[in-house]
Amino acid sequence: MEYVKRTAPFIRKNVSVERMMRDVLIALTPVTLFAMVSFGPDAIIRIFLSVFICIASEVIVFGLTHKPEVSLDTKGNLKKRYKTFNINNLITPAITGLIYSLLLPSTLNLYVVCVGALGAILLGKLVFGGLGNNIFNPAAIGRVIILICFASFFTYSANADLITSATPLGALNNLGLTSAITRFTLTDLLFGNIPGAMGEINALAILVGAAYLLIRRAADYKIVVSVLGTSIILFCFAGLGLAINNVIAYDQILIYVLYQVLSGGLLFGAVFMATDPVTSPINKYGRYIYGVLISILVVAIRLFGGFPEGVALAIIFANIFVPLIDYFKITYKNHPKTTYYILGSLILVFGGVILLYIGR
């Protein structure tokens, strides 16, 4: 047997890393164009600033951490530092910067944007060794850092011409479903005519990008299906509990579920962040577990937590368990039924907890 030295990222697909990253950039195009058109120069400045900082940080740190042999030829030393630098070292930080910027409001202070971009690439990726070695989703790290440190800076508007107002999730939690639907219809959620983060509000643009990624197999459908499918089931339990408690009518349960799925960052996170091949499990059954875990955390934060949203935090928390999921033998192909039974039981148990808590 011949052993060949390889470098990260270790992706178990018959495609190149470069092709996968290009596909992600293409899939992000509809969302990015919508953000630029809807929010105008504010969005363009923040998107390009985030991408520039992430790429520049990658280039600088790469040169600092790849030291050549000592030589009097200063120019030659600099060139040797970047001997293994390739296109992936440009595309991956660009994707990180783009996704991170799309998680932000269009009016966020530029200083805060810079802090989050540096945190995303330095603390979320390069501190672990760079390309393919990070254990957390870098864009999620950047988003959580500034949310914790600069929460008061987060104000949202529907587009460049409208004043700031509550997001649909905020309206749902504070005003109730009936008032929220009156203010923001499901059509508004689908086409992005709502306040929110620049890349999260247009569900249709996200779905177009998701279709491209799945057709090109640049994203694993198992993660997308498990995150969204589990969320739909759990929000059905929540809607049933609200109906039992006479908060909403029984015929509004479906509307409530759609409102939860189309609002906030759930759809964007499931498609563009949870599917990151570096920070998600390797084996296919483990990816179902990973997706279910993310969904449970998101639903728990939304229903029981103090914040209306928690997708980025849920993805980071789920990233912690990826090595354990890959190690745990029950997720391998000789135990598929056991995996499904455990996941089904977990979803039903948590759904029962939601029903008892909300419907009491």
Q: Average pLDDT of 84-96?
A: 87
Q: Which residue has the higher pLDDT, 242 or 335?
A: 242
Distances (CA, A) of 270 to 79, 280, 298: 40, 12, 11
At residue 315, the pLDDT reads 95
- Nearest Cα neighbor of 90 from 38, 131, 125, 55 is 55
Asked if the model's pLDDT at residue 10 lies above 50, the reply is no
Q: Average pLDDT of 126-142?
A: 89
Q: Which stretch, 42-46, 154-158, 353-357, has highest mean pLDDT?
A: 42-46
At residue 2, the pLDDT reads 46
Mean predicted lDDT score pLDDT of the chain? 85
